[in-house]
Amino acid sequence: MKKNNKSVLSLFSLFLLITIACNLSTGPAATEAPVDIATQPPAATAEPAVQHAMTPPAALPSVQSGLAGDYDSSTTASKRRAPGGDRFTFDRFERPFNSTSMDVYYPGLDIQNSIFYQDAAWMYGVIALKNFDSSQNVAGKYGFEIDLNADGGGDLLVMTTQPASTEWTTDGLQVWFDSNDDVGGSLLGLTDKQPVPEDGYETQLFGNGQGDDPDLAWARISPDDPTIVQIAAKLSLLQGDTTFLVGMWAGADDFNPALFDLNDHFTHEQAGTSLPELEYYYPIKELSELDNACRMAIGFQPRGDEPGLCEQPNSPGPTGCQLNDQICAARGFGYYFWEPTCECRWLG
């Protein structure tokens, strides 16, 4: 009997050990805490790629809508000055130089010519520069500004940063709108007596392909000339307007949509000048690495006194000046500029 009891006990013990082992192997670890799913970070998801439906054509229109020349500051860069055209009071800048010492000249910010084209769907701002010098490490920005009612106050700004591709791309593109109509301050086309608190172009309509229309604006380096920047924007941006002024810009950090008009956000003393004959303001100070061209009239015959307009043949210059250089007048539309001395200076 004792032998049988031991056998039964042994069998029972073996059964008990197997049961405990099974429970230990299948149950949760004693130290394992419950998982709160709500606190776990969501799984990373890729941003959807921008889908483009419309790209500017490979070839620009054959007929231009406007043309404006500009000064070539390379001719006087060794003298640490611009040859002319830097008129802070009139929102005209010719300062593709560094601040204060003016011992660095930026050919990639020096506009030589600007051209405007239109076709059935697009408008194109074309900026011809002296040269690109990648070793200078400047984050170049390029764009065109549109004044819809030709009163001197800009309304739209289309700009690109560091264009590099010869293919049309939306990378680096921005489109800005002045929704509260304060660009230009109280004296449109002229500097206000004191810097103004306006916010410039405060409404961004487009950025890097993002916006209501992902195809609104594009840019590229010309496939035919590495010194030319081409910027395209849809005509729909104009909301049906067919007459306006347009002017081209090139710059670095100071080419900032929030600072327009630039001559209203600084005093002349703060901004300085690139012309040593204006000795009270020389040299360039807080507004540097910047260039713009005079404005072209698109779709209408200008009166000649529109703010920022390129000088017209047979139009008067500053008060008291008369056009008496017929050679200068004969050289064509948009290619000369009146100096304060009543000199008609050729820009070609």
Question: DSSP labels for 210-266?
Answer: EES-TTSEEEEE-TT-TTEEEEEEEGGGGTT---EEEEEEEESTT--GGG-SHHHHS
**CA 306 to centroid of chain Cα atoms:** 24
Domain boundary among the residues 301, 319, 337 is at 301
**Residue 17, number of CB atoms within 10 A of its CB:** 10
Contact by Cβ (8 Å): 128, 113: yes
| The CA-based dihedral angle spanning residues 145, 85, 304, 230, taken in that order and rounded to the nearest 10 degrees | -30
- Asked if residue 322 and residue 214 are part of one domain, the reply reads no
The distance in angstroms from the start CA to the end CA of the chain is 126
- Asked if residue 343 and residue 282 are part of one domain, the reply reads no
Domain assignment present for residue 113? The answer is yes
User: In this predicted structure, what is the pLDDT of residue 191?
Assistant: 73
- Cα distances (Å, whole numbers) of residue 13 to 9, 19, 26, 164: 6, 10, 20, 81
Q: What average pLDDT does range 111-120 have in this prediction?
A: 95
| C-alpha neighbours within 13 Å on the C-beta side of residue 190 | 6
- Asked if residue 244 and residue 338 are part of one domain, the reply reads no
pTM comes to: 0.77
CA distance 294 to 36: 65
Q: Is the pLDDT of residue 100 over 50?
A: yes
Domain assignment present for residue 329? The answer is yes
User: In this predicted structure, what is the pLDDT of residue 347?
Assistant: 46
Domain assignment present for residue 52? The answer is no
Domain assignment present for residue 33? The answer is no
- Asked if residue 294 and residue 315 are part of one domain, the reply reads no
Domain assignment present for residue 5? The answer is no
- Asked if residue 261 and residue 324 are part of one domain, the reply reads no
Q: C-alpha angle with apex 70: 78 to 314, nearest 5 degrees? A: 130
- Asked if residue 232 and residue 331 are part of one domain, the reply reads no
* Residue 26 host element (H or E): helix 2-26
* Number of folded domains that form the chain: 2
- Asked if residue 315 and residue 211 are part of one domain, the reply reads no
The residue among 181 and 238 whose pLDDT is bigger is 238
- Asked if residue 223 and residue 330 are part of one domain, the reply reads no
User: In this predicted structure, what is the pLDDT of residue 173?
Assistant: 96
- Asked if residue 344 and residue 233 are part of one domain, the reply reads no
Using DSSP, state whether 15 is helix, strand or coil.
helix
Domain assignment present for residue 34? The answer is no
Q: What average pLDDT does range 274-293 have in this prediction?
A: 96
Contact by Cβ (8 Å): 65, 242: no
| C-alpha neighbours within 13 Å on the C-beta side of residue 314 | 3
* Model pLDDT for residues 234-283, shown as the tens digit of each residue: 999 999 999 999 999 999 999 999 999 999 889 999 999 999 999 999 99
- Asked if residue 326 and residue 187 are part of one domain, the reply reads no
- Asked if residue 344 and residue 204 are part of one domain, the reply reads no
CB burial class (10 A; 0-12, 13-18, 19+) of residue 127? Answer: buried
Domain assignment present for residue 40? The answer is no
Domain assignment present for residue 25? The answer is no
Domain boundary among the residues 282, 301, 320 is at 301
- Asked if residue 345 and residue 258 are part of one domain, the reply reads no
- Cα distances (Å, whole numbers) of residue 326 to 69, 259, 294: 19, 39, 21
User: In this predicted structure, what is the pLDDT of residue 310?
Assistant: 84
**Residue 34, number of CB atoms within 10 A of its CB:** 6
- The range of the structural domain enclosing residue 202 comes to 66-301
CA distance 78 to 1: 120
* Model pLDDT for residues 213-228, shown as the tens digit of each residue: 999 999 999 999 999 9
